[in-house]
Amino acid sequence: MDCSQTIRISDREYILRFHEKVSMQRIPLSGSLDLTWQCNLNCIHCYLGKKSERIENFVRETSTEKWIRIIDEISEAGCLHLLLTGGEPLLRKDFFKIYQYAIRNGLLVTVFSNGTRVTKDMIDIFKDLPPQAIEISLYGATPDTFERITRVKDSFKLCMEGIHLLLDHGIRVALKTILMSVNFHEFAAIENIARNLGVKFRLDAALFPCLNGDQSPLDFRVRAEDAVAMEMSDVDRYRKWGEYYVKTQNLQHPLSLYKCGAGVASFYIDPFLKLHPCLMTSKPEFDLLTGSFQEGWKTVIPEIHDKNQSIDTCSNCEKIALCGYCPAFFQLEKGDEKICSEYLCEIGKHRLESVCNFQAEGES
């Protein structure tokens, strides 16, 4: 066929078709490898629970060779986007061996870090094989607030030094914060740090319990109304939420309990080589020490979407695209994946009010 007769489609349409095909064929396009639960900080809100308990599990964490094997298997299965996370992944002595292997396997790698472990010795490797981004948690704009959360002296200084070291050498950095009562008063200043550095920034206010059931992180939640006000305080975020709602408000949601891409196009593997649909759900689970990724992905992980008892009050709710609906979140907070979180419901209510104002502004 003559090239001039080739049918062309827009980038956006191509991406939509691509993701539709990925979902239909259950291709594990994106995944997270939790390389370690060890961390040099001791954050008050950490979902991994008490640091002392994680230290006890250190000897069970996966070896370099096994992570290399997993990277081969997920690459063969179709994975493209890979997150290396923890804990603090840079604590692993073999981090860069795993990192380099993933990138040379053709994976687009993002690293989650607290920024305090970045050294000059690491820079050459990141420059040689750049990540998609190194995403760093910035919990405060001052040492006092930051270290009230991390409970480690000089951690703010080390974090900022790590951020500047990466940026000074052209490594792409993104910043994020968890909005909580301890740092709420500094949110604007935290966002200004990101703005002045010229890096992407995101926030999250939906604190959830520890994976072991400890509810103490919820003590640091801010009021849902205040959290949404902070979200909408930025004009660009406000516009994106409004546009997102316009695009999704008439979509038909699946009748199954889980309506997300977990176990459809994404997966999570913990430090002990247990494969899960996502970080927040413990079941279904497949032990990658006893079988291959493809075996677990095809036979066990799909079970998450076999749960057909949807939550009627949520399925028919106009806020479902805005609240952060997540049965795994409900399980951690309420002890039952079919009992929705009042906090997320309130978040959805206030977001809906904001996007309705956005629509009204567009019509006026």
Distance CA 19, CA 353 (A): 30
Averaged pLDDT, 166-172 = 98
pLDDT tens-digit map of 79-122: 999 999 999 999 999 999 999 999 999 999 999 999 999 999 99
Sign of the Cα pseudo-torsion (62, 135, 285, 345, in order): positive
* Bigger pLDDT: 300 vs 363: 300
Nearest CA to 116 among 146, 87, 159, 164?
A: 159
**Could you write out the DSSP letters of every residue in 306-346?**
G-----HHHHT-TTTTTTT--HHHHHHHHS-TTS--HHHHH
Averaged pLDDT, 216-228 = 97
pLDDT at 246 over 90: no
Q: What is the reported pLDDT for 14?
A: 53
| 240 within some domain | no
Domain that holds residue 151: 26-222+258-306
Q: What is the reported pLDDT for 116?
A: 98
| Residue for token pair 């939906």 | 206
Q: What is the reported pLDDT for 175?
A: 98
Residue type, 345: C
pLDDT at 216 over 50: yes
Interior/surface letters 247-283, b for 16+ CB within 10 angstroms, e for the rest:
eeeeeeeeeebbbbbbbbbbbbbbbebbbbbbbbbee
| 352 within some domain | no
Coil, helix or strand for 32? Answer: strand
- Please state the separation of Cα 2 from the chain's center in Å: 45
| 230 within some domain | no
Q: What is the reported pLDDT for 158?
A: 98
CATH code at 74? Answer: 3.20.20.70
Q: Could you tell me whether strands 173-178 and 200-204 are parallel, antiparallel, or unpaired per DSSP bridges?
A: parallel
Q: Which among 5-19, 49-63, 91-105 has the top mean pLDDT?
A: 91-105
Number of domains in the chain: 1
| 211 within some domain | yes
Coil, helix or strand for 255? Answer: coil
Averaged pLDDT, 324-342 = 95
Averaged pLDDT, 283-299 = 97
| 167 within some domain | yes
| 85 within some domain | yes
CA distances from 189 to 29, 61, 136, 186, 194 (A): 36, 38, 16, 5, 9
pLDDT at 20 over 70: no
Distance CA 328, CA 303 (A): 14
Residue type, 27: I
| 360 within some domain | no
Show Cβ contacts of residue 27 under 8 Å, excluding neighbours closer than 6 positions. Answer: 21, 77, 78, 265
CA distances from 62 to 94, 98, 160, 300 (A): 11, 12, 30, 21
Distance CA 351, CA 322 (A): 6
| 269 within some domain | yes
Averaged pLDDT, 115-138 = 96
Q: Pull the structure tokens for residue 112.
A: 């989650």
